[in-house]
Every structure is written in C-alpha cells, then in structure tokens.
Amino acid sequence: MQNILFDFIAKYITLTEEEKNAILSLDLFRTVKKGTIVLKEGQKSNNGYFVLKGCIRTYYVIDGEEKTTAFYTEMEGLTPSCAISNGPSEYYISCLEDTILAVSNPDMEVEVNRKFPKFDIMCRVLSEELLVKKQLDFDEFKTSSPEQRYINLLEKRPDLVQRVPQHQIASYLGIKPQSLSRLRARIYEKK
C-alpha cells in the first residue's frame, strides 16, 4: 500500500528515501472492514483519511433516515469538519467495502511538515484542488435536475453505480429509490 501512496505523492513532489521512511514511521495504514463506522455523529476525532483502496461514504441521519452527502474512493481524501473545529462530528463516515486508509492527525502533519517543508506545499496544493472540486460539485448539484445529476454521476464516477447500493446513490442524488428506478428506466429508454 505504501507504493500506492508514494505514487500519488509523486504527482506533486519528489520523495527522497529519508522522506519515504519518515512517512512509513508514522504508522498511517489501517485496514477497515466493510460496514465499519469510522466516525459517528457526536464523536470527536482529529483524524484525516485518505482512501488507498475501497470506498467510504459520509452521511447524516435526519429523522431516522440516512442522507448520503459524499463517496470517497481510491486516491481521495477527507478531513472531517470536526477535525478542524475540535467539536463533535455532525455526520457519520462508514466503509462500503473492505478499505485501506491512510489515517493522519494534525500532530503527524506538523511533525512531517517541520522536517520536510515541501509536504506543506503539497498539502496546500491538494487543499486548493479539493476546495475547487467541492465548489464545482456543489454548484453542479444545485443547478442540475435529478436526471442530470445521475447522468453526471454515470459520466464522472461510473464505478460508483457498481460499488454502491442503489438506495445510497438515490440519497446522494437527493431522491427516493423509487424515483431513481424510474429515472434510470427513462434514461435507458432514450438510448
């Protein structure tokens, strides 16, 4: 798994052997079973997560119903808002598949950034990229019909349709599962 992480980092910065060893000494890697809730609503955590293999989702429970807000798959990272605010989490994070995560916390990040300042630059670039992507995704969601949201999902993240239960995709799209079934039938009829 370390090579997957190092290959990803290499897209941004070149690592020396000393830097690779420093990362490995942090004991970042966690194997998590499908169905595991990594973070619960109300729980405090300062961990950030980077998916090396698998799929996790974030969701709220509102009036007893799960409302999916995001899916994270290979080479995607998530820092829960509670890790920044030091307050309790407002949502859940769970594994939809057996997952391998790189788990970090601010103490680890400060230590690595102190020893190797170029990591700070990489983290800043990654944060900027993520912020732009999140804003574009939000804008697209707000300005699209449910049918267009599903088409966008098929175009941009076709793997999710195979990996994620349909009721969670419906929740992510902001519709009921029955509506997703009708929507899918309409789309396939047009083809």
Residues 16-68 have pLDDT tens digits of 998 888 888 888 899 999 999 999 999 999 999 999 999 999 999 999 999 99
Q: What is the CATH number of the domain that holds 87?
A: 2.60.120.10
- Print the domain residue range for 19: 2-116
**What's residue 136's pLDDT?**
93
* 149 in a structural domain: no
E strands present in the chain: 29-32, 37-39, 48-53, 56-62, 65-72, 76-78, 92-95, 99-104
* 175 in a structural domain: no
Q: How far out from the chain centre does Cα 159 lie?
A: 14
Please give the model's pTM, rounded to 2 decimal places: 0.90
Taking only the tens place, the pLDDT of each residue in 83-131 is 999 999 999 999 999 999 999 998 888 888 888 888 888 888 888 998 9
* 44 in a structural domain: yes
Number of domains making up the chain:
1
Taking only the tens place, the pLDDT of each residue in 128-178 is 998 999 999 999 999 999 999 999 999 999 999 999 999 999 999 999 999
